[in-house]
Amino acid sequence: MKRLLRAFKLRQSLLSQYLLIVLAALLLLPLSSPLVSLLLYWPLRASVDPAEALYRDGEKLEKMWRSEAAKLEGAADGQVDETLRKLKIEYPRADMFWVDESGKTRLTLTASKDIPAIWNASYTVRFMKERTGGDPFTVIGFIGEGERRGFMVFELARSTMNSGRGWSGANMELRWIFAGFLLILLLFLLVSLLFFYRIRRRLVRLQKAMTVPSDTGIPGPVNALNEDEIGRLERSFNRMVQKLEDSREREIEEEALRRDLIAKLSHDLRTPLTTIRGHAFSLKQEALTDKGKSSIELIERKTDYLGQLIENLISYSLLTSGKYPYRQQRVDIVRLARTHFAGWYPVFEQNGFEIDSELSENAFYWEADPQWLERVLDNILQNVLRHAKSGRFVALHVSACNGGSIAIRDRGPGMTGDSEEKGMGIGLSIATLMLKEMNLSAHVTTGVSGTIFIVASNAAPSDSFLTEA
C-alpha cells in the first residue's frame, strides 16, 4: 500500500511532470526532419507550377528520355522526327536533336548553332565527357536496343531545373533537419515556460493568501485542486489556517468565560464586603483597647483596598468587552486637572506628602470622556499614595506644548521596587486601556529615584515633558 502511495505521489510530482516534458522533447528530436517535411515540403511542393515541375527531377527526365529512345527500335527516320517533335511540345524549354548511325545530325529542335552537322568518334567522346554533370543538363539516349541506330540528345539549362526552388537537394534536407530541430526546441521552451508560469502563478496566489489576512487577522484558506507538491503545501496551509481559527475561537470563548467569571465573582464579593464594613463600623463604636482600634483601622483599610480591587476588576472586564460607557466631548484639560487634583490635595497632605503643582496658563482641549480621564488620574494618584509613600512627594505638571500633556511624578522606589501594598497592576492596566480608547498615549519612566507617568495627546512626548516633570 505504501509503495502504491509513493508511486501515486511520484506520478503527481512536479519533478515527474517536467521530466516527462524533457523526455518528450528528446523523443521528438529524431522525428524533427520528417515532421518538418510534412509541414513544409508538401505544401511547398503543392504550390509549385506544374509546368516547372516537369524539369525538377533529373533522374526522372533521364529515365523518360532513354525509355523513349529505346522504344524507337527499328523506327524509320520520320518516326524518330515525329517522336522528338511530340517530346518538344511536352518539354518546350528543352533542346533536342538526334544523330543517325552515320554520324549525321538529323532533326535539330534547338536554337543553338554549336551542333556539328557530322559527328566523328573523337568529338562524340569529348561531347559526352563535357556534358556529364555539366550545364546544360544533358541526357543521351541510344535509339533502339543497341548503339548502331544512332542516339538522340536532350539538353536543359540547369537554371530551368532550379527555377522557383529556394532549396534543393542535400542543402534542402539539411535545412529541413535544422528547421525541425529548431521547431522542437522552441516547442520545448514554450511548454517549459508555460509549466513554470503555472507554478509561479500558484505560488504567488499562495503568497497573497498568506500575506492578506481576513477580518479576524487570520489568512483565509486557498482552493487546492492539484495533488502535486504545491497542492500538498496548500492543503497543509489550509490545515494550519483551520487550527488557527479553532484556536482563535477557543481563545474568544475562554476570554468570555474569564470576563463572566470576574464579573460574577466581583458581584458576589460585594455583599460579604459590605457586611464586614458594617461590623467593623459597629466595633469601632465600642470601647476598645489601642490594639483593638489598630486592628479595626487595618480591617477598614484592607476592606477599602479590596473594594477598590473589586471595582477595578469589574471596570477591566467591562473595558475589555467594550461595555464600559464612553461619552466623548470637548474637555478643558487644565480645568479638569486643577479641579480633580484639588480633591486629592487633603489626602496627600494628611499622609505627609510634599505637593508640587504647575498648571499651564493657556487652556487646551482634548476630545475625550471626562469621567474616564478622572478615573485615569485617580488610578495614577492612588498608585502614588500606596507605593511611593517613602518618597513623600508628588508633583502634577500640566503643559500645553505639542498638543498638551499631564505629568505626575513621585520619589518612590519605582515600579520595580518593593512596596507593602504592591498588587498586580490592574489599576495601571485600566488607565492604559482607557487612554488607548481615547486615542491618548501613556509614557512611563521609572527608576530607584521615582516614577514619571505622562499622559499626552501625541504618539510620543517631547523631552520638555520629562524636563518639566
165-172: long-range contacts, CB 8 A cutoff, minimum separation 24: 165/56
Q: Which residues pair with 410 in a beta bridge?
A: 394
Cα separation, 370 vs 327, whole angstroms: 8
> Is a pLDDT exceeding 70 seen at residue 445?
yes
pLDDT tens-digit series, residues 30-45: 766 666 666 655 555 5
Q: Which residues pair with 155 in a beta bridge?
A: 95, 138
- The answer to whether 16 and 23 have CB atoms below 8 angstroms apart is no
Domain 243-324 classification at class level: mainly alpha
- The answer to whether 319 and 286 have CB atoms below 8 angstroms apart is no
> Is a pLDDT exceeding 70 seen at residue 462?
no
pTM of the model: 0.47
Say how many C-beta atoms besides its own lie within 10 A of residue 43's C-beta: 9
pLDDT tens-digit series, residues 327-336: 999 999 999 9
pLDDT tens-digit series, residues 293-303: 788 888 887 88
Helix-strand-coil percent breakdown of the chain, rounded to 5?
Answer: 60, 15, 25
Proportion of the chain above pLDDT 90, given as a percent:
14
When the pLDDT of each residue in the chain is averaged and rounded to a whole number, the result is 79
- pLDDT: which is higher, 72 or 450: 450
In sequence order, the 6+-apart residues with CB closer than 8 A to the CB of 269 are: 306, 310
- pLDDT: which is higher, 444 or 309: 444
DSSP-assigned states of every residue in 80-146: HHHHHHHHHHHSTTSEEEEEETTSBEEEEESS-S---SB--HHHHHHHHHHHTTSSSEEEEEESSSS
- The answer to whether 87 and 96 have CB atoms below 8 angstroms apart is yes
pLDDT tens-digit series, residues 345-404: 999 999 899 999 999 888 999 999 999 999 899 889 988 988 888 889 999 999 998 889
Q: The C-alpha cell of 442 is what?
A: 501613556
Strand 354-359 to 393-399 pairing: parallel
Domain 329-468 classification at class level: alpha beta
DSSP code of 360? -
Every domain of the chain and the residues it spans: 2-48+167-204, 54-162, 243-324, 329-468
In sequence order, the 6+-apart residues with CB closer than 8 A to the CB of 359 are: 334, 337, 338, 396, 397, 398
Cα separation, 251 vs 219, whole angstroms: 17
DSSP code of 213? B
Per-residue confidence (pLDDT) for residue 469, from 0 to 100:
40
DSSP code of 422? -
Q: Which amino acid is at 182?
A: L
- pLDDT: which is higher, 459 or 280: 280
Per-residue confidence (pLDDT) for residue 467, from 0 to 100:
46
pLDDT tens-digit series, residues 306-333: 777 777 777 777 777 777 888 999 999 9
> Residue with C-alpha cell 524507337?
72
Short-list 252, 389, 259, 402, CA closest to 324: 259
Within this chain, domains 54-162 and 329-468 share the same CATH topology: no
> Is a pLDDT exceeding 90 seen at residue 406?
yes
Cα separation, 131 vs 143, whole angstroms: 19
Per-residue confidence (pLDDT) for residue 349, from 0 to 100:
92
- The answer to whether 56 and 161 have CB atoms below 8 angstroms apart is yes
- The answer to whether 81 and 108 have CB atoms below 8 angstroms apart is no
DSSP code of 37? I
Name the packing angle between helices 14-28 and 169-211 (round to 10°). Answer: 170
Query: Can you give the C-alpha Rg of the chain in angstroms?
Result: 55
In sequence order, the 6+-apart residues with CB closer than 8 A to the CB of 427 are: 312, 379, 382, 383
Say how many C-beta atoms besides its own lie within 10 A of residue 401's C-beta: 15
Q: How far is CA 63 from CA 3, 59, 154, in A?
A: 66, 6, 11
Q: The C-alpha cell of 436 is what?
A: 488607548
Per-residue confidence (pLDDT) for residue 247, from 0 to 100:
87
Confidence class for position 440, pLDDT limits 50, 70, 90: very high
Confidence class for position 459, pLDDT limits 50, 70, 90: low
DSSP code of 38? I
As a whole number, mean pLDDT of residues 145-154 equals: 79
Dihedral of CA atoms 425, 427, 429, 430 in degrees, nearest 10, equals 160
Q: Which residues pair with 219 in a beta bridge?
A: 213
Residue 407 sits at φ, ψ, to 5 deg, of: -120, 130
Output the CATH code of domain 54-162: 3.30.450
